[in-house]
Every structure is written in C-alpha cells, then in structure tokens.
Amino acid sequence: MNIVLISIFGYVAFLMGISLWHRKKNYRANEDFLIADRKLSGIVASFTLIASFIGGGTLLGNTALIFKFGYYILPLLIMLPVGLLLFMFIAPKINRLAKKEKWLTLYDMFESRFGVETKNIVAIIQLINILLITSVAMIGGAKMLELFTAYSYEMCVVLMASIVGGYLSISGFSSVVKTDIIQAIFLLLIFGALLVFLTVNPSPEIQNYADYGFGKMPIYVSFLMGIIGILVSFGMEDLYQRVYATKNVKEVKKSLWITFFMWGFCYICLAGAVFKLKVLFPELAGDMAFLEGINNLIPTTFHWLASLAILSILLSTIDTFTFNGVLNFNKLFFAKDDKDSHKNLVRRIKRSIPIFLLIVILISIFIKSIIFTTYIYGMLMASTGLVVIISFAFPKANKWYAIIPLILNIIVGIIGVSIFGFSEKLAVIPLATIPLGCLLAYFYNFLKSNAFYKKKL
C-alpha cells in the first residue's frame, strides 16, 4: 500500500472519529443534526463557508474553466467576494427571520416570501444545482485518486461516496461543520503555499497573450462573467444555511467579513497560480489541469501531501452539498407541514443519504466532465441569486416575479444549449431572461388587475 492510500485512509479514520465523538456528545439533539443547533460562532461559520465553496467548485471547476476558456473567465472568481460583500446588506434580516420562521433551506425563504409554487420551483432548481456541484467534487476526487492508486475511476467514485456517506450519516450537519474546520485549515495551507509560489518564482514573460487564452473572446463575456460571479454569491445554498445556523446577527456579520477577506486572499492566489501554470505549462487543459500543474512544480516526495490536502477540500464540498441535497429533497417531498417533527426529518435524511450519493455516483460515472457540470451549475445558481436580489429590492413583488423569470431561464437555457452547444457565451442567458421575466410578470400583473381584463374574463 503506497503512502497516498495510507494517508487517505488515516484521514478518513480521523473524520469518522470526529463524527462518532460528536454523536456521542449530542446523540438526542435533532436540531443539532439539522442545523448545528443554530449556535455557530462567526469564526466557525466562516471556516465552513471557506471550506465548502472554495472546494470542488473553485479549486477544480473554476480553474478548469480558466484553463479552457482563458482569462476572460477571471472576473467570475474576482467578483464572488464582491457578491458576498453585497450579501451582507440582507444577511442580518435573513438570520433574524430564519430563527423566527425555523428556516432550514433556501427555498424555505422563498416559501415565506412568495408561497408554495415558488418554493417548489426553487427547490427543484436547487436540487439540480446541488447534484451538479456534488458531482464536480466527486469527479475531481475520483480522478485524483485514480492518478495515485491502482483503482479504476468507477471504483474511486464509489470510494469517495462511501467515505462521505459514512461520517455524514453519523452526526449530520454538525459533522459537516466539524470536518469543515479541518478541511479549511488544509485549504488555507494550500493557498499559503500558492502565495509562496507566486512571490518566489519570477513572473514569466509573455510574448503573445492570445496564446494563453487572452483575446479569444469578446470583452462583453468578461463583463458578463463578473456579473455572474456576484449573482452566484446570492444563490449559494450553503451560504444561507450558514447564516441560518449562526447564533446572532453580530456573529453573522463577523463570519461574512472573515469569509470576504479569506475568499479574496484565496481567489487572488488561485488566479495568479493558474496564470503562471498556464504560461509555464501551456499544454495543460481539461478537468485536472490545476492538479497536474501543481504536481509538475512540487517534488514527487510531496505529491501525497498535496493530494491529501486537495482530497480533504473536495470531501468538504461533497459532504456539505450531500447534506443540503437530502435535506432539500425530504423537506420538499415528505415534510407535509410545519408539524412534521425534526425527529422524523432526521430519520428520513439518514435513510436518504445513500440514495442521494447513488445518484451522484451515476452522474459522475456517465458525465465525467468537471467543466460542463461547473458551468451549468453556475448559470442556474446565478438565476436563483438574481431572483433573491429582486425579492429584497422590491418588497411588493408577488410570486410571479420569481416564477416567470425562473421558468423562462430554464426554457431558454435548454434551447440555447440544444442549438449552440456548450459555450461560454451562454452566460448571457440568466442576465437576459430574468429581467425579461420580471417585465413579463409586471405586464401579467397589470392585465390581471385591469378592470377591462376582469370583465372580459
């Protein structure tokens, strides 16, 4: 057994131990299983956000997009922290309402604001999003294990799912929080190493920017990607769950400020590292380009350490979104009303984890593309984020300002992919369909309230 497998199995045993210890300590606490008893401190909440979102989606997904499409994608990374900064204006209100209304998911907020129909649409979109981002991390982790072990890709996918399913079933969201802290430390160590790499190594001279992805797309695509980055921050399911779980408004603000600076630090380091890797190794491309580039730079002796650190980060993404996925699924289809007890919900979640992970396994085996799943995930999440902004910016907006834009975005998105295929220019779809949908909602409401229209009916 090589050192990579020994370190991985040792780390997995450590995660299981943390989950078992926490379960023994809080065995009967259903609220703790579901939402960490709504008592997270600002520091802990920020660490879990750093670990979950900068994991699979950013470390592999967004870097793969940059390697494929060039540096016009960079604003997507840069504007994510800016979106988080803007989110701070509504986060205190969300925290207070979540405690009052006992929200657990993002669509709980939509149900309180717009009603059941909107809740169902948002819930389905979020389920698709969660399956996609979980698959991104699963694909990345399996491909990484395949590089350093004798296992097949399919076997590595099953191994990743089994690891997460094991410790997640033991203590739920609290295990996500506890393990995220460890995984966030690994993450910060990686980005600290990237910072050293950026400062120690001289900047390479670039003769032709077009050779490295500069100038391959119109400038408007870069602008659109920046807007998408802001909107994605408002559509992140895990961000809302952390705001719900944080114990008070003061701690919410603290957590978001810490996350803002840490995200900024990580994204600057990541963008600089990808830039240098692309110049040093122009042949790099595909899903695992970032990991392959890092392995080309560091001594072979330390490959196991880099692999373990990246694997821990990917596990953080998988466990976070697996829990979010089964929670969304059970609340949508089985929790009929508010009287449905948390005890019943916890029991159903534990039973649903293997089913959810089986779906992720199938997606990961049949799609195998980090780039495609990341891109579709980003577009769907941006549309949800834009509807969130509209709902807070226009308090008098009714359910049609959410329902029509979201449905229109899905229809146009499917048509766009069918006609043009997978293209970075499809980023324009949510930015066009959501405002257009709001305009249609305005006219629909106008006609519905018009006396002549009512008389004709």
Residues 269 and 141: their CA atoms lie apart, in Å, by 22
pLDDT at position 214 is: 47
**Which run of H or of E encompasses 101?**
helix 91-101
pLDDT at position 290 is: 77
Residues 285 and 296: their CA atoms lie apart, in Å, by 14
Residues 360 and 357: their CA atoms lie apart, in Å, by 5
pLDDT at position 86 is: 92
What the chain holds in terms of domains, given with CATH numbers, is: 3-25+37-382 (1.20.1730.10)
Q: Look up tokens 């066009």; give the residue.
A: 432
3-state secondary structure of 405: helix
3-state secondary structure of 421: coil
Residues 425 and 53: their CA atoms lie apart, in Å, by 24
Q: Give the closest residue to 427 by CA, choosing from 368, 373, 383, 371.
A: 383
Q: Give the closest residue to 378 by CA, choosing from 95, 105, 79, 147.
A: 79
User: Could you tell me which residues are beta bridge partners of residue 40?
Assistant: 246
Tens-level pLDDT at each residue, the chain (457 residues): 566 667 777 777 777 776 666 565 554 444 545 555 566 776 777 777 777 667 666 777 777 777 777 667 778 878 888 888 999 999 999 988 888 888 877 878 888 888 888 888 888 888 888 888 888 888 888 887 787 777 888 898 998 888 888 777 766 656 666 667 777 777 777 777 767 766 666 555 555 555 555 445 667 777 778 888 888 889 888 788 888 888 888 888 888 898 888 888 877 777 777 777 777 777 777 777 777 777 777 666 666 777 777 777 777 778 778 888 888 787 777 765 544 556 677 777 778 888 888 999 998 888 877 777 777 777 788 888 888 888 888 888 888 888 888 888 888 877 877 777 666 666 677 778 888 888 998 888 888 776 544 555 4
pLDDT at position 186 is: 73
pTM: 0.79
pLDDT at position 339 is: 47
Q: Give the closest residue to 237 by CA, choosing from 347, 349, 114, 133.
A: 133
pLDDT at position 211 is: 54
User: What six digits make up the tokens of 417?
Assistant: 């992919």
Length of the chain: 457
- CA separation (Å) from 15 to 1, 18, 51? 21, 5, 15
**Cβ-contact 184, 44 below 8 angstroms:** no
